[in-house]
Amino acid sequence: MLFKKILIIILLQITISSSFLLAQVRVSTNFESGSLGSMSIIDSNIIKINNIDSLISYSLLINSRFDPLNPVDTSLAPSARWYYFKLKGVKNKLITLYINNSEAIRPFYSYDGINFNRFDLSENRIKNTITTIFSKDTVYISHFKPYTYSRHQNKISDWKTNKNVTHEHIGFSSNNIPIDLLTITDNSIDNSEKKRVWIHGRSHPSEAPSSWHLEFMIDNLLSNNPLSKDLLRNTVFYIIPIINPDGVIGGYSRSSSTGVNIEINWDRPDTLTMPEVKSLRAKLIQLTEKSPLNLLLNMHSQIANSITYWIHTAESTNDMFLKDQMLLSSLTINHTPYYRPEDQRFSHVSSKYVEGWIWDNFADSTMAITFETPYTYYNEDKYGEWVSLENLKELANSSILAISDYLSIGGDSRKILNYNNFRNIKGYKSIVNDPSKVYHGKSYFIALNSGSKLDIVVNSLSKGRYRLYRWNTGENNKVFPETTNRWELIDTINHNKKGKFKYKYRSEYTGDIINSFILVKE
């Protein structure tokens, strides 16, 4: 009797695995940034739940699409990280997706192509395998929530109406798509004494988290909050949100439509240099004709489950430049729980990258560095915080704070105080150009005994309540304790009227390192 029941179930499964049933699930990518190599149906079954109810099941093999072969470097293996496709005919069916060539670590789905959600862990327990029942007939599946060129254009249209924004096209892609540059600063103030920061993103089209992060950074700069106003009074930001529009529109992974990875195209002869890189290089040459930039950030996303800066080694740059990179990295760690000392990564500077081009032309006059966000979760902790638009916005705020602190931007919102603000220095020794520590500028003071003292003086400070922090200078190591190389709260101050501010600092132990302080207005 049991044998007959099993036979009936097997015959039923064979019967329903017909061409009629297979035709019910369809796939398409005929929309912006859509990408798929191929889809095939492995099998389909009817699962009998009870005497009345049954469930149709499909197993689909998804192969993500490889980029075209790189004609500049044919030895470079094409990437197939990005996938973004639409399935139809899936409502109330048990769908299993086996995704090849790319990662399926809780990717995203959407029923309308606008509002995206991550798959739950319960739907993606097995590597590269997603099993779920969709509640609607049409669903979009993507590696991460897409950041399309259309969204970019809509944001450009919005941003350029701001009085502090100047918009221009610095060139065109291989497919003749314009490359947008936003110059963001307080246009009521002369630019000659301002710090200058260049930020660009999306050389690799699949790295959508970096675009969301950069969008939130721009929104923050234009938000008219006290820090953004201070920043724009003292800084000019040159921001190119998408340097590879062809790749983003076409749904490629790491290349442009030509197959070239423009991230590593900076040291090629003109005949092998892509128009996107030529446009960026020409603008950088124009902007640096009289003086170098202060900071260049190259925004990316990585498959590692952590944030990182790619910090260039002292062997390929110099000791003090490494120290300054570690300062920027430490400041970022200070302002976000999603980045830790052990997440830092190190590499030799190379001329094929924009950072290498900057080093070759300006050496340590410009801090040029790559910043990476993950697609998945932070801190290598899959049980912790997963990457979302909400925490990418938090991270953007942290990035702005780190930039402000690194550049020592003045203003009442965050006022960096250093040796220029120190008076009546007694019992300290000045240490200059020491690359073994992480600190602002070129020097710090070390207490020769407990009770060493100095006064911190600000000639004019607005009325208000302030928190006073000191920079807790630590070792310049690849990994350091999270209690060092960070701002340490030492006092809360009520400054009752606008005018001169004076604070008496006393070291409690021999060897206390004094480098900089910061007043943060509450």
Starting from the edge strand earliest in sequence, which strands make up the sheet with 428-432, in order? 428-432, 443-447, 513-514
The radius of gyration of the chain's CA atoms, rounded to the nearest angstrom, is: 27
Whether 393 shows a pLDDT value over 60: the answer reads yes
- Of 51-55, 62-66, 333-337, the range with the lowest mean pLDDT is 51-55
Report the CATH number that the domain containing residue 59 is assigned in CATH.
2.60.40.3120
Identify whether residues 43 and 86 lie together within a single domain: yes
Using the structure block, give the residue that is written with the tokens 């004709």. Answer: 289
Give pLDDT, residue 10: 36
Inter-residue contact 314 to 388 (CB < 8 Å): no
- Among 368, 384, 407, the domain boundary falls at 407
Report the CATH number that the domain containing residue 464 is assigned in CATH.
2.60.120.260
* pTM, to two decimals: 0.94
Give pLDDT, residue 152: 98
Inter-residue contact 366 to 291 (CB < 8 Å): no
Give pLDDT, residue 288: 98
Residue 158 lies in a domain: no
Q: How confident is the model at residue 20 (pLDDT cuts 50, 70, 90)?
A: very low
- 3 state SS of 198: strand
- Beta bridge mates, 302: 374
Pairing state between β 195-201 and 235-240: parallel
Residue 480 lies in a domain: yes
Identify whether residues 118 and 183 lie together within a single domain: no
Identify whether residues 372 and 466 lie together within a single domain: no
Using the structure block, give the residue that is written with the tokens 């060129």. Answer: 149
Whether 18 shows a pLDDT value over 70: the answer reads no
Integer angstrom CA distances of residue 445 from 326, 448, 469, 518: 19, 9, 16, 16
Burial of 438 (0-12, 13-18, 19+ CB in 10 A): buried
Residue 252 lies in a domain: yes
- Among 386, 407, 428, the domain boundary falls at 407
Residue 97 lies in a domain: yes
Give pLDDT, residue 17: 42
Whether 502 shows a pLDDT value over 50: the answer reads yes
Residue 435 lies in a domain: yes
Tens of pLDDT, residue by residue over 74-93, are 999 999 999 999 999 999 99
Give pLDDT, residue 158: 98
User: 10 Å Cβ neighbour count for 278?
Assistant: 13
Identify whether residues 441 and 319 lie together within a single domain: no
Give pLDDT, residue 345: 98
Give pLDDT, residue 7: 34
Whether 400 shows a pLDDT value over 90: the answer reads yes
Range of the domain at 61: 2-142
* CB contact set of 415 (below 8 Å; sequence gap of 6+): 458, 461, 518, 519
- Among 407, 429, 449, the domain boundary falls at 407
Give pLDDT, residue 50: 81
Q: In angstroms, rounded to a whole number, what is the distance separating the alpha carbons of residues 418 and 513? A: 12
Whether 8 shows a pLDDT value over 80: the answer reads no
Q: In angstroms, rounded to a whole number, what is the distance separating the alpha carbons of residues 46 and 499? A: 79
| Position with higher pLDDT, 52 vs 519 | 519
Identify whether residues 247 and 205 lie together within a single domain: yes
Q: In angstroms, rounded to a whole number, what is the distance separating the alpha carbons of residues 351 and 181? A: 24
Tens of pLDDT, residue by residue over 428-459, are 999 999 999 999 999 999 999 999 999 999 99
Q: In angstroms, rounded to a whole number, what is the distance separating the alpha carbons of residues 63 and 141? A: 13
Q: How confident is the model at residue 6 (pLDDT cuts 50, 70, 90)?
A: very low
Identify whether residues 323 and 424 lie together within a single domain: no
Give pLDDT, residue 410: 77
What is the total count of domains within the chain? 3
